[in-house]
Structure 1
């Protein structure tokens, strides 16, 4: 896969180890039925996953840097592994199976490998730059995925974060404008929204606020599936603090609806 096959296989190994930790912790949870959940079980599992990932990388890729949600960045250079141990921790602690571990490799400031693993959904998605996007149980049992061909906002399905987040970032009016322009709006979950775009089940996903480790793996999967992945100003980067993800055909219109800036295309 475009020279990144070894790195992609390592990313799967990292995800396998993470899945073992997160699945055991998830099954052991006594999820609260009422009230705001205690996030500390997710935080403990976050740290365990990131520690294991860092330990494996220290042996397999000792010269590479690592950036994780829990322990920040260690090491420098042109290659940096990015890990989000548990995306959607609120779901994790409430017993909702929509959560994932995400592993990506950034090389010369471009995401070249990404794996998104959601073991409670029994789903995994991955891509290497110029090698297509895939889903399946593992790297040897996979099917290629592609974005949808929907070309009109009025026919599009949108998945997004809740309106409160858009309001906090002074973008609620723009968000409502987009929801009124599309056929259907749902909130399937952060990483899952983007993966649904990659496999063509959803046409647009968007978040007003997100971190690099929450987006890096998603970007390469969506782009290799034929979609577009930018921040809300139209820059194709996972590090812009926000995200608009589409099948490509709808990107310019969706960006305008959200009050975004001029679209910057990948070259």
Structure 2
């Protein structure tokens, strides 16, 4: 399939929800929960996904779509992974670190994706032909060692703590002591986009869903960084800039194999 066309559709779909999300941002919308109170959802998540699905199917009605809110629909070689608002808790409370993530895979291989920040109007896009931010080529370069590096992570999550609190806290303590800075900004897709851009040096997360990381994984890899983990299956992930020394990093023990 024409990856340039697929990327164009992904960008169009992601940008189509920008006006709605900007208008709703900092309006303190009503929040419902899904799995538990750590997993919020708003009317805008549902509406944005419906818009994205409509754009995709208007171009390629034969598409299969896997969305955070709408689940899986359709079947075939072409599958789209959609997160209408990655970072819903941030969006709902007014913290400007959230994004729209749309990715396309053909026969199980990621070929196009976009991570779109509607507040800053940053468009991170990637295909098998490269990676870009607002049209400029991306290069995932940065620190080579922990002591120079910024780590973006949501670890430990409440589930990590529930499974083994002592181990999770010990590991997080090692991250805090090893890295120059550790931040918990709250959007897996945008964290990965920042690693692809070289704006941060590493990103780590546990039990991520494909809609969270598919586009970001392609961004990192096409920008010259490293993404470890299967972006099309639920699981842990680790991403870092090109040239980062993982072997001597505190992240080595958690790197997906």
TM-score of the pair, normalised by structure 1: 0.82
| Contact 1:245/1:251 (8 A) holds in 2 | no
Superposed, which structure 2 residues align to 1:2-41 within 5 Å? Answer: 3-26=2-25, 29-30=27-28, 38-39=31-32
Aligned with 1:250 (options 238, 245, 249): 245
| Contact 2:31/2:42 (8 A) holds in 1 | no
* RMSD (Å) for aligned C-alpha atoms: 2.4
Provide closer, same or farther for how the CA distance between residues 119 and 253 of structure 1 changes in structure 2, counting only shifts above 3 A: same
1:101 to partner: Cα distance: 0.8
| Contact 2:155/2:206 (8 A) holds in 1 | no
Aligned with 1:157 (options 150, 156, 179): 150
1:24 to partner: Cα distance: 2.3
Q: Deviations over 1:28-76 (max 9, x none)?
A: x147xxxxx8347952111111112222222210111111111111111
Cα distance in 2 for residues equivalent to 1:123 and 1:258:
33
Provide closer, same or farther for how the CA distance between residues 7 and 230 of structure 1 changes in structure 2, counting only shifts above 3 A: same
| Contact 2:42/2:92 (8 A) holds in 1 | no
In structure 1, the residue matched to 2:219 is 221
In structure 2, the residue matched to 1:67 is 66
1:252 to partner: Cα distance: 4.3
Provide closer, same or farther for how the CA distance between residues 186 and 198 of structure 1 changes in structure 2, counting only shifts above 3 A: same
Corresponding residue SS for 1:120: coil
The aligned length equals 245
| Contact 1:7/1:113 (8 A) holds in 2 | yes
1:111 to partner: Cα distance: 1.3
| Contact 2:225/2:241 (8 A) holds in 1 | yes
1:242 to partner: Cα distance: 1.8
Corresponding residue SS for 1:201: coil
1:176 to partner: Cα distance: 2.7
Provide closer, same or farther for how the CA distance between residues 51 and 225 of structure 1 changes in structure 2, counting only shifts above 3 A: same
Aligned with 2:197 (options 188, 199, 202): 199
Aligned with 1:167 (options 161, 165, 170): 161
Corresponding residue SS for 1:205: strand
| Contact 2:49/2:84 (8 A) holds in 1 | yes
Cα distance in 2 for residues equivalent to 1:254 and 1:239:
25
1:163 to partner: Cα distance: 3.4
Aligned with 2:140 (options 143, 147, 159): 147
Cα distance in 1 for residues equivalent to 2:227 and 2:163:
20
Corresponding residue SS for 2:42: helix
TM-score of the pair, normalised by structure 2: 0.85
Aligned with 2:233 (options 227, 231, 239): 239
